[in-house]
Amino acid sequence: MNGAAQITVEGVSFAYPGAAQPVLDDLDVTIESGERVAVLGPNGSGKTTFALHLNGLLNPHTGSIGIGDLTLGPDTLAEVRRQVGVVFQNADDQLFMHSVYDDVAFGPANLGLTADAIDQRVSDALAAVNGTDLADKTPHHLSGGEKRRAAIATVLSMNPRVLVLDEPTSGLDPVGRHELADLLVTLPQTQVIVTHDLPFALATCTRAVVLDGGTIQVDMDPDALLDDPELLARHRLALPFGYGRTRSS
């Protein structure tokens, strides 16, 4: 691990071909080293689009994205992608080999590392997600929670500075959600967590931003956000039915 990196997004705009309106519109946000930031917003607000910009899977039409002292561009793309690991919503998109070990080893192997170095990367990554016992298993035989941990390990094996997770609780049962939250708060990387799951955001993140209309509309403490029903309603966010909030005295 090289430590966490700051993310600086300045004036970023992006529109899909043929779209009447930009998905991201002069968006600015700075994320400090080591922060865990929830990115919230209604469907179609650009959350996933924003996430995919952070390691160059999409390129802004205007504006700039900085990762540490690097400005994302053609000359820095490979290094940024080593520093920023994206965990996709569907874990199956990242698990395609015959064993979890092979999936986690895939990235380091493409760096040209020795067999011993690859083995160490895999061992460390699986240990970090409490998944050492998954190494020899076939990915499609795993539970949803096990797949999520394996997918995160495929990213951790590249020693990233930043983790970007797109709807990480998708498909997880309540126990799996709790286990994932417990895992993420132990990891040292800067984390950007795109989610509709407000209790999960509260459990994992120290900051919440609401993306709506292509820009950051709200930037505040998650606990304060969840205690503001009018603000939540304004951006089509809602707590699950039966979810109680207990204010501290």
> How confident is the model over 131-169, as pLDDT tens digits?
999 999 999 999 999 999 999 999 999 999 999 999 999
Q: Determine the distance from the C-alpha atom of residue 206 to the mean position of all C-alpha atoms in its chain, rounded to a whole number.
A: 14
Q: Determine the distance from the C-alpha atom of residue 152 to the mean position of all C-alpha atoms in its chain, rounded to a whole number.
A: 10
pLDDT surpassing 90 at residue 247: no
pLDDT surpassing 80 at residue 107: yes
User: Which of the four pLDDT bands, split at 50, 70 and 90, describes residue 5?
Assistant: low
Contacts of 239 (CB under 8 A, 6+ apart): 198, 199, 226, 232, 245
Contacts of 87 (CB under 8 A, 6+ apart): 94, 148, 151, 152, 155, 163, 164, 165, 166, 168
Identify whether the C-beta of residue 222 lies closer than 8 Å to the C-beta of residue 38: yes
Residue 246 tokens read as 């207990």
Task: Supply the pLDDT for residue 120.
Answer: 97
Q: How far apart are CA 48 and CA 46, in angstroms?
A: 6
Task: Supply the pLDDT for residue 244.
Answer: 62
220: Cα within 13 Å, side-chain hemisphere: 12
Contacts of 235 (CB under 8 A, 6+ apart): 40, 41, 42, 210, 212, 217, 218
Strand partners, 89: none
Judged by average pLDDT, the poorest of 3-7, 102-106, 129-133, 179-183 is 3-7
Overall CATH class of domain 7-89+161-234: alpha beta
Structural domain boundaries in the chain: 7-89+161-234
Residue 70 tokens read as 């690097």
* Structure-model confidence comparison of residues 247 and 153, the more confident one: 153
